[in-house]
Chain A
Amino acid sequence: MSLLSVEDLVVRHGLLQAVRGVSFSVEHGETLALVGANGAGKTTLLRAIAGAHQAASGRVVFDGADLSGVPSHERVRKGVALVPEGRRLFVQMTVEENLLLGRTAGRPGDWSVERVLETFPNLKPRRHAKAGHLSGGEQQATAIGRALMSNPDLLLLDEVSLGLSPLVVDRVYASLQGLISSGTTIILVEQDLNRALSVSDKVICMLEGRIALAGDSKNVSRDEVTKAYFGLHRKSAGGVPA
């Protein structure tokens, strides 16, 4: 049984249909990269899985349970954690308080404040600093750490490299590599195609709310993804998803 199964999902923003009948599945321990141009529906899809947007139709099945109508805080309890685009930290609270909030769901697991600080050493000296006073890289590390504190079975990462310098992005991805190696199931929205293909097992390229290309990252060339990105390629490669 797949850990996550998205079935014919449709999500609307008012009259705009942002996600149009998307279906795919993610197995335990897999890393899936979602790529696509701005406005392709990646963030909306991720937020719909996390429960921040309600689906107009279709289903999100997680660990065998239908999540339709389940609010976002309940989904965290079930093991779905989102690192939202733009970090969305609680800027009036300290790094430690932000991390402790991730434990609200009360899921058992190994993640603790100390372990997050070991995973992201740049946060150690900033433990008691207000989140609003952190650099972009430190904020991103805090946001990822906060999600990890809920001991998720599925980690959703939305544009973790957005607005960060290449050096900081390298550092964030080095930390993520450890999570990926440890078998954490991850769905990653990423604009950097090379990076997305290098860290993921599977890749889905979205275009105008639909899946334009889906395949194994090893079997899909950068050229194929680029074509799908611009709407020049509309078929499944590598014999994967849906």
Chain B
Amino acid sequence: MMNQIIQGILLGGYYALIACGLSFMFSVMRIINLAHGSLAVLSAFALWLLASRFHISPFLGLAIVLPLMAVIGWALQRFLLQRSARGGALLPILTTFGLAIVIDNVLFEQFGADTRSLAPYIGSLSYASWEWPGSIYVGKLAVIIFVTAVVLLGGLQLFLTRTSLGRSIRATSEDPDTAGLVGVDARRAMATAAAIAMVTVGLAGAFLGMRATFDPYAGATQLLFAFEAAVIGGAGSLWGTLIGGIMLALAQTLGATVHPQGFLIGGHVAFLIVLFIRLYTSGLGLGGLLRLSTGKAS
């Protein structure tokens, strides 16, 4: 059982990493980015391309891919999301949904349906592990991913609270009009936030490729995990994202011990329980929830 808990916590680090960008974009820009998973897969393919064609290690490749992801995020916000946000809350969701379809199909067109992995390009790291007392084997890559998630979340927390740009981003997310009146360039702040979110997505995509396989349509599953971790942790809370990721992973691990097919179902059940608790405690009450579920809410 201890082994499963430890593996679950470490897997939670990956979920926190992939949920981090989604949660950040939602809390700062009020945008649910449905292209989140596809963008992570795009990053994984970019690293795979660098590794397979140019023999650049995926870790070195991050020095190229992460700045590119930042530019993509900045451009997305300035030329797509900012404009679509003027059309109401639903339009950015539809826009990112469309973007996900475009990315998936462009990747399919370019790389075909084969599954790929970055594992062959990182040496023994993909399978090497430490043995802990009690015959518990802890994967080195899993530990690296977990530590990266903690450092990233801590770094983001420090950035948002201790730097002028971070405060500007928080102010813009709270009240963009007033932010302008105190000298904050709201458009620049939002574009910077999108660039940061995409860097985290790029990092998550790299670890996705190192710890598992991916194909052009793998984005939807990653989006689902990210969404579940973000909601369980309380969308918008950075440290909550880590807790959400760990809870999701523990539920999946527990589900897998109950039944071989229970891995995904365990996570979904945990997500639904937390979602219903949140809705119930939000003041809707049981009656409100039932009316919502039967479509009778006025």
Contact = CB atoms under 8 A, between A and B. Distances in A.
Interface string A118-151: 0000000000000000000000000000110010
A90 B183 CA distance: 14
Contacts of B179: 73, 90, 101
B180 A71 contact: yes
A93 interface: yes
Contact of B167 (A50, A51, A81, A93): A93
Contact of B180 (A72, A102, A150): A72
B63 interface: no
B236 to A, nearest CB: 11
B2 interface: no
A101 B182 contact: yes
A92 B182 contact: no
Interface residues of B, number: 18
Contacts of A84: 178, 181
A173 to B, nearest CB: 22
Main DSSP-derived SS at the A contact region:
loop
Given A52-B177, A84-B178, A90-B178, A104 B170 contact: no
How extensive is the interface on chain A, given as a class?
Answer: 20 to 34
B62 interface: no
A160 interface: no
Contacts of A92: 170, 174
A121 to B, nearest CB: 23
A81 B179 CA distance: 12
B180 A73 contact: yes
B171 interface: yes
Most chain B CB neighbours (cut-off 10 Å) among A76, A77, A84, A90? A90
Interface in B237-277: none
B180 A103 contact: no
A77 B178 contact: no
Nearest to A86: B178
Contacts of B183: 73, 76-77, 101-102, 104-106, 150
Contacts of B168: 101, 104
Contact of A101 (B167, B177, B185): B167
Contacts of B201: none
Looking at B164, B175, B178, the one whose CB has the most chain A CB atoms below 10 A away is: B178
Contacts of A93: 167, 170-171, 174
A91 interface: yes
A71 B181 CA distance: 9
Given A76-B182, A90-B178, A150-B182, 5 more contacts: A72-B180, A77-B183, A88-B175, A90-B171, A101-B171
30 contacts: A51-B180, A52-B177, A52-B181, A71-B185, A72-B177, A73-B179, A73-B180, A73-B181, A73-B183, A73-B184, A73-B186, A76-B183, A77-B183, A82-B181, A88-B178, A88-B181, A90-B179, A93-B170, A97-B161, A100-B164, A100-B167, A101-B179, A101-B183, A102-B182, A104-B164, A104-B182, A104-B184, A105-B182, A147-B182, A150-B183
